[in-house]
Structure 1
Amino acid sequence: MLSEELVAQCEQVLGYRFQNHQLLTEALTHASIADDRRLSNERLEFLGDAILGLVICHQLYELFPQYLEGDLTKLKSAVVSRNTCAQVANAIGLTELIFVGKGMTGRQERPSSLAAGALESIIAAIYLDGGLDAARTFIIRHMQIFIDQFASTTHQDNYKSLLQQYSQKQLGSTPMYELVDEKGPDHSKCFEVRVVIAGRAFGSAWGAAKKVAEQRAAQIALEELGVIAREEEEFTSAVVEQATDEKLNDE
């Protein structure tokens, strides 16, 4: 059992006060030091993985009603990955609190799998000690920043994927990308592309490469279809348009 001083230190790091200190002890006990692996954090890690997935899935479902299943799955996978969990564990100082065997004590840097497993174990311990609301509060407090980061990157880079999924499921047709115009010298061309779905043409977009123009054109089509809100994309649009304008002005 942990000393009162160590319990207080752990609770300060976690921002949660445990009623059952045995759960905290178990969550911090790595299999390399446990006399019985059933007394290590492996079982809690198993449970915590499921709780983390549930909470993140629910959060993504609520935050992104415009996302289809494929994009939600991709975003969830990034948020709950071992790498992300390890980053959270290291950032809050959890990794250094884990009890490990002698073979791991001397390492300068503990493996990411150990850190990620510890975070999942703590999530399960909080869930068993304080219920789902307590676990959710802990998870969102530390994971929301990653949700925001991954959502921004994933969404901006996958308008074509999102449009294709929506178009095939809801419209029964595959988007086509038409080259409308191109300007500039051969070494520095800009391209204008538009999306056509089942004979319907959507607004065109310029890009410094065809792929960039296609992504922007897919975004415009999604906006016109009402799949994504225009105001959510104002910053991205401004950046793309500014970069394209600068390139056209250099001609």
Structure 2
Amino acid sequence: MLGYEFRDPDLLREALTHASGANHRLASNERLEFLGDAILGAVVCEELFRKYPDYQEGDLTRVKSIVVSRRTCAKISESLALENYLFLGKGMGAGDQTPSSVLADVFESLIGAIFLDGGAPAAQQFIIGHMGPEIEAAVEGSNGLNYKSNLQQAAQRDFGETPTYLLLDEKGPDHSKCFKISAQIGANRYAPAWGRNKKEAEQRAALNALCQLAGSPLPYESD
């Protein structure tokens, strides 16, 4: 299930024990959650730093906030069916009734337990194994942040138009090109953005357009 085998099963039990199902608070997973939260953040930050060397701090922060969000942690807990193994007190629900906040917490406590049981490499492997697809989804804008879809809805609602995307420039060698793309709605062209591929550039251009329409500062400068 986890892709990791515990040497100390007591750590696993502690990670799966909610405060409502523990004899006392120190026997619950709260301390492991505290540890796991810090490790999760550090591992994801390092992965983003190494994998996206051309991302500015704001880009890295945006992606990290999505990847380590409570929503994402709960989603992974659900995919691992952790709710079936939780030790919960009466009234906390069971199965699909388990609160998402509890599912998010248990994913972090599990990371803390793996770190203590198998060390930093084991925790890192576990995190990247489950967070890798979430990082890719956040970078591509498909993790609840599909700006092209949002812009299309806004354009059709407010202007009765469908946005188009214009390739304005490209640079770099064939194996590592960057693309400059602008979104256009009717006769109105919006601030362009660079991306490491056309898909990324279009998502960034869409976000620029959404921010312009809302009168907000541009998240991506084109030059």
TM surpasses 0.5 = yes
Separation (CA, whole Å) in 2 of partners of 1:25 and 1:190: 52
Query: Pick from 76, 88, 100: which aligns with 1:88?
Result: 76
Aligned residues between the structures: 180
- 1:208 is matched with which residue? 185
The one-letter amino acid of 2:55's match is Y
Displacement of 1:24 = 0.5
TM-score by length of 1: 0.63
State the shift of 1:207 in Å: 1.9
5+ residue gaps, structure 1, are: 1-12, 159-185, 196-202, 220-227, 241-251
In 1, Cα distance between equivalents of 2:114 and 2:72: 19
Q: 1:209 to 1:40 in 2, by over 3 A?
A: farther
Identity of aligned residues (%): 42
Superposed CA offset, 1:59-107 (max 9, x none): 1111111111111111101100001000000011112211000121467
Please show how residues 40-59 of structure 1 align to structure 2 within 5 Å.
40-59=28-47
Aligned mate of 2:126, from 123, 134, 138: 138
2:71–2:104 CA contact under 8 A, matched in 1: yes
Q: Is the 8 A contact 1:193 1:206 kept in 2?
A: no
Say what the alpha-carbon RMSD is for the aligned residues. 3.3
Give the Cα–Cα distance (whole angstroms) in 2 for the partners of residues 210 and 67 of structure 1. 31
TM-score, structure 2 normalization? 0.70
1:193–1:126 distance in 2 versus 1, CA, 3 Å:
closer
1:115 and 2:103 equivalent?
Answer: yes
Instruction: Indicate if the aligned counterparts of 1:193 and 1:210 stay in contact, CA closer than 8 A.
Output: no
Task: Pick the aligned partner of 2:112 from 119, 124, 132.
Answer: 124
Q: Which of these residues, 19, 28, 31, is aligned with residue 19 of structure 2?
A: 31
More helix by share: 1
Amino acid at match of 1:140: I
**Aligned 8 A contact 1:193 1:205 in 2:** yes
Letter in 2 for 1:214: Y
Q: Distance in 2 between matches of 1:14 and 1:41?
A: 17
Aligned AA (1:145): P
Return the offset for 1:208: 2.6
Closer, same or farther in 2 for the Cα pair 1:71/1:35, shift >3 Å? same
Structure 1 residues 11-26: aligned runs within 5 Å: 13-26=1-14
CA contact (8 A) 1:193 1:214 kept: no
Larger of the two Rg values belongs to structure: 1
Identify unmatched segments of 5+ residues in structure 2: 149-158, 170-179, 206-223
Instruction: Determine the structure 2 residue equivalent to 1:70.
Output: 58
What residue in structure 1 maps to residue 49 of structure 2?
61
Task: Find the aligned partners of 2:73 and 2:10 in 1 and give their Cα distance.
Answer: 23
Structure 1: how far apart are the matches of 2:123 and 2:187?
45
Aligned partners of 1:190, 1:21: CA distance in 2, in Å? 55
Question: Which of residues 186, 189, 198 is equivalent to 1:233?
Answer: 198
